[in-house]
Amino acid sequence: MEISRSEKKRQMQQLEQLASALVTLPKQAQDQLPCPEELVQEVRAAATMKGGARKRHIKYLTKLLHVSDLQEELYHYIGRHQGGAIVAKKTQHQLEQYRNALIEEALDRAGEQDDPAWSELWESKVVQALRPDLPLVDDKTLLRLAYRFAETRNPRYSREIFRTLKAAFEQQQRLQRSEEAK
């Protein structure tokens, strides 16, 4: 899936919100961050700053988070300490990105008039790419809905794709919570 410049900017804004949330954590919570000590020191340093210096340092933290592979762990940590609003917003944005990529791929395929494989059960690279993240999603339903959207341009199908993705994500979350409880 190719990501547009606007999408990259939105992702960086989400990371900036994460960095800002890390800075506003109490000192005891900052000490227990699941990341290297250098990053914890940068978070502590930003917490003591004010005004423009703080904003610049948060942007620097955003850059550090962007190149690190600790984003998911930090999102879960923030979710436990400040509530799930940041995590929920990130999840919704990711599901919207999957939906938009699937619709875009379906529209591209519908535009190819000589494609004999274009039917309700067409081969999708996007569905294959999202399987690792959402293993419980019903592939056939997604393909059928994307096909219908491409044929009719009815926004109802776009909303239904999002609902299907969200239901698969929530089902996966319930399974993970039940496994953790055991």
Could you tell me the pTM of the whole model?
A: 0.75
Segment 159-173 mean pLDDT: 94
Confidence of residue 1 (pLDDT cuts 50, 70, 90): low
Structure tokens of 141?
């339903």
Nearest to 18 by CA among 50, 49, 59: 59
Burial of 171 (0-12, 13-18, 19+ CB in 10 A): middle
The span from the CA of 78 to the CA of 21, in Å, is 7
pLDDT, one tens digit per residue, over 47-80 is 999 999 999 999 999 999 999 888 888 988 888 8
Amino acid letter, 148: R
The pLDDT of residue 9 is above 70: yes
Name residue, tokens 């000490």.
31
pLDDT, one tens digit per residue, over 10-29 is 889 989 999 999 999 999 99
Q: How high is the pLDDT of residue 84?
A: 77
Letter string b/e over residues 107-132, b meaning 16 or more CB atoms within 10 A of that residue's CB: eebbeeeeeeebeeebebebbeebee
Segment 146-158 mean pLDDT: 94
How many helices (H) and strands (E) would you count in the chain?
Answer: 9, 0
Segment 133-155 mean pLDDT: 93
Q: How high is the pLDDT of residue 113?
A: 65
The better pLDDT of the pair 59, 90 is held by 59
Segment 141-160 mean pLDDT: 95
pLDDT, one tens digit per residue, over 91-136 is 898 899 999 999 999 998 888 767 777 888 888 999 999 999 899 9
